[in-house]
Amino acid sequence: MEKLPVQANHFSSSNGSSDISHLAGGYQNIDSKELRVAIPVTLAGICLVGFAGNFLVFAVLINNARRGKTSMINSLILNMSVADLLIMLFCVPFRAVAFSSSSWILGWFICKSADWFLQSCLASKSFTLAVLAKACFMYVTHPNKQVQIQHQRIAALITTIWTLAFILPIPHWLFATVRHEAGKVMCISETPGRASSFMAVFAKLYPALVYCLPVICTFMYHWKAFRMCKRRGSKTQNLRNHIRGRRLTVMLFSVSLASAIMCAPGWVAWLWVRHTARGEPSPPPAFALLSQVLVFSLSSIDPLIFVAMSEEFKEGFLGLWKRLVSSKPRTSAALPAAPSQRRPSSTDSAPPAIPVPSQQEKSVQVPDRNPAQDKAESPTNKTANLVLSDMEQFWQDRQNAPATAEEDPIPWEHQSELEGPPCPETSVKDVIQEDGQ
């Protein structure tokens, strides 16, 4: 691999010696062909991982909001995820193109807005982390209460965060321009001499407001939250909320620590460029490239921290994955096939099984049928055709072995044999039909 040349970040200005200029919109002094390929490929991988992870976080939080699980902490995490998605969509692709070319080819508007938009998203994340640390401390202080506020207040808080994030880096927009330098088109930030005093104050105040002060507030609230968790370790009444508050504190502290560590080289390079006089050494190109790659990598690391340290996000990811996987089979199974398109299966083509009558049912069956019997078997006369087995046996015993006068249970039927001619024998079926009629 070719050695990365060290070139100056400052350029001479045609307007006068008092003007100060430095690169903007990405480092454009890469002469190594290997780095022009390796860095854009690395940024493409970071972009894919970061977009997928933050999109899943966004989907889980939106799903929780639909089910009524809205809170200040979830809303602020959602705001961080939105900032990371914006960085992945509108910052990383243009930086990859800028790194792959030795001159600026993206036009004037992208040159003006590249650094401003990136700094706005980073400022929004920094402010959100500070507010998240305070919300975490409030949750640990009152573990039995969810830190919930009204939707209007949540919207007002997020609007305030983004308004400050868009206003503070406005000088990045004002002084960025496209200029021809040494036969190349370069995107630079050029500060005119009349604005040098303002930029001197801005170069000191802006990092303090956007990075130093939020980091100090974030770690101060996390330290208080850890102390509260330690103090309530043996006195808490609701152990489940206590453990949940402790895990939440560890998760948010990890996100804040990763943000502070990975953004620090970028701020060192930012201050180095703006506090270096003309003729003094500028930040090494390798350090400038590494600092920007670390800043973009942070957007893909945050979702991994959420998944690794939060059971809620794990369950949400698994539920979302199962829903995406099982959505198509459920849809096809829910739609019944049309009658004309149904294929006859083995169960449909087989004839229905005919039940075999039992021994008792065989004794009840009558071989001969006539229209009178069909009429008697109508729905209105079904009860008349039900003959129990014990009743049938009773009538057969009475016909085969007639009882004596003393043992005869129905002597009035046998009185006709003594008084008159014998009457015709009555069958069991005729008696049942008469009773039914």
Give the pLDDT band of residue 299 (cuts 50, 70, 90).
very high
At residue 402, the pLDDT reads 52
Domain boundaries, the chain: 20-326, 372-403+412-436
pLDDT at 296 over 70: yes
- Locate tokens 């039940």: which residue? 355
**Which has the higher per-residue pLDDT, 366 or 212?**
212
More confident position, 360 or 261: 261
pTM of the model: 0.69
- Helix or strand run (H / E) with residue 435: helix 428-436
316 pLDDT band, cuts 50/70/90, is confident
Average pLDDT of the segment spanning 81-100: 92
Measured distance CA(197)–CA(190) in Å, rounded: 14
Segment 248-272, tens digit of pLDDT: 899 999 999 999 999 999 999 999 8
Q: How confident is the model at residue 126 (pLDDT cuts 50, 70, 90)?
A: very high
Sequence-distant (6+) residues with CB within 8 A of 81 are 54, 57, 58, 61, 302, 303
Spell out the SS3 assignment of 213-243: HHHHHHHHHHHHHHHHHHHCCCCCCCHHHHH
d(CA 101, CA 40): 10
Q: Is residue 143 over pLDDT 90?
A: no
Percent of the chain at pLDDT above 70? 65
SS3 163: helix
Helix axes 33-66, 285-309, angle to 10 degrees: 30
What pLDDT shows up at residue 151? 81
Assess whether pLDDT exceeds 70 at residue 401: no
Alpha-carbon distance of 285 to 30, in angstroms, equals 8
Contact in structure between 109 and 75 (CB atoms under 8 Å) = no
Q: Is the pLDDT of residue 222 over 60?
A: yes
Whether residue 328 is predicted with pLDDT greater than 70 in this model: the reply is no
Residue that wins the pLDDT comparison between 53 and 348:
53
Does residue 176 contact residue 116 with C-beta atoms inside 8 Å?
yes
Angstrom distance (rounded) from CA 336 to CA 324: 22
Rounded to the nearest integer, the mean pLDDT of the chain is 75
- At the fourth CATH level, the homologous superfamily of domain 20-326 is Rhodopsin 7-helix transmembrane proteins (1.20.1070.10)
Cα–Cα distance for residue pair 413/431, rounded to 1 Å: 13
Among 86-100, 145-159, 234-248, 402-416, the minimum mean pLDDT is found in 402-416
Are 242 and 236 in contact by the 8 Å Cβ rule? The answer is yes
Q: What is the pLDDT of residue 251?
A: 93
Q: Residues with Cβ < 8 Å from 54, sequence gap 6 or more? A: 81, 84, 85, 88, 299, 302, 303
| pLDDT at residue number 367 | 46
